[in-house]
C-alpha cells in the first residue's frame, strides 16, 4: 500500500475476510492509506463483513457481480451513497439484466428467479459444445445459474444458486 498508493482494490469476500484476519493479528499496522474505495466481486458481501472492511480502511466498500462469461462484469454498486444499496450487488454495468422463471418468462421487479444477462460483453456460446449452449442460453439470454431478484430501481440481489440437472 505504501509503495504503490493504490486508490482501490478488489477481491472476493473470502479474501476480504483473510485481510481482516491479518489486520486483527497485526494491530500495529496503520491502515490509513490512499484508498478511495474497496470493491468486492464475484458474490455478495455479508453485511457484517462489509462493515468491518469499511471500518478498517475508512472508505466505502462497493459490491459487484460478474463471471467469466460476462468479461467479467454484470452489475456494480457505485461509490456515491445513493448509488449503493445494502445487500445488493448493484445495477447493470454493461449487459442487460433480467430475472427469468423456470418456463423462460421474464419476471417483474421483486420476483425471485434465475438471473439472466445479454449484451456485447456476454459470451455468445461455448465452442463445439451444443449441449452446453442449449442449457446456457434462452432467447438470446445467458442463464447465469444464480438465483436473485431486481428491485424496482434495478438493483440486483443474489439469493443463491439454482441447481441445474
Residue 52 lies in a domain: yes
Residue 165: pLDDT over 70: no
Residue 44: pLDDT over 90: no
| Mean pLDDT, range 5-15, rounded to an integer | 91
Place 6 in a pLDDT band, splitting at 50, 70 and 90.
very high
Split into its structural domains, the chain has a count of 1
Q: What is the pLDDT of residue 20?
A: 94
Residue 1 lies in a domain: no
| Mean pLDDT, range 141-165, rounded to an integer | 91
Residue 81 lies in a domain: yes
For residue 18, give the CATH number of its domain. Answer: 3.40.50.12780
Q: What is the pLDDT of residue 87?
A: 86
Cell 445459474 sits on residue = 145
Q: What is the pLDDT of residue 92?
A: 96
Residue 14: pLDDT over 60: yes
Residue 32: pLDDT over 80: no
pLDDT over 90, % of the chain? 72
Q: What is the pLDDT of residue 3?
A: 85
Q: Note down the domain range covering 14.
A: 8-161
Relative to beta strand 137-138, strand 113-118 is unpaired
Residue 124 lies in a domain: yes
Residue 3 lies in a domain: no
Residue 92 lies in a domain: yes
Residue 81: pLDDT over 80: no
- State the burial class of residue 123 (Cβ atoms within 10 Å of its Cβ: 0-12, 13-18, 19+): middle
| Mean pLDDT, range 112-121, rounded to an integer | 96
Q: What is the mean pLDDT of the chain?
A: 91
The three-class DSSP label of residue 154 is: coil
Residue 24 lies in a domain: yes
Q: What is the pLDDT of residue 163?
A: 67
Amino acid at each position: 500500500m505504501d509503495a504503490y498508493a493504490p486508490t482501490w482494490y478488489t477481491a472476493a469476500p473470502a479474501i476480504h475476510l483473510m485481510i481482516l484476519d491479518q489486520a486483527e493479528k497485526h494491530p500495529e499496522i496503520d491502515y490509513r492509506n490512499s484508498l478511495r474505495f474497496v470493491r468486492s466481486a464475484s458474490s455478495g458481501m455479508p453485511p457484517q463483513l462489509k462493515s468491518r472492511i469499511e471500518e478498517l480502511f475508512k472508505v466505502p466498500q462497493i459490491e459487484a457481480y460478474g463471471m467469466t462469461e460476462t468479461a467479467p462484469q454484470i452489475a456494480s454498486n457505485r461509490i456515491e451513497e445513493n448509488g449503493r444499496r445494502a445487500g445488493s450487488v448493484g445495477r447493470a454495468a454493461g449487459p442487460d439484466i433480467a430475472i427469468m422463471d423456470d418456463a423462460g418468462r421474464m419476471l417483474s421487479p421483486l420476483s425471485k428467479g434465475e438471473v439472466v444477462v445479454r449484451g456485447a460483453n456476454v459470451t455468445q456460446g461455448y465452442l463445439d459444445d451444443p449441449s452446453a449452449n442449449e442449457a446456457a442460453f434462452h432467447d438470446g439470454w445467458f442463464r447465469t445459474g444464480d438465483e436473485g431478484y431486481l428491485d424496482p430501481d434495478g438493483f440486483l440481489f443474489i439469493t443463491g444458486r439454482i441447481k441445474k440437472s
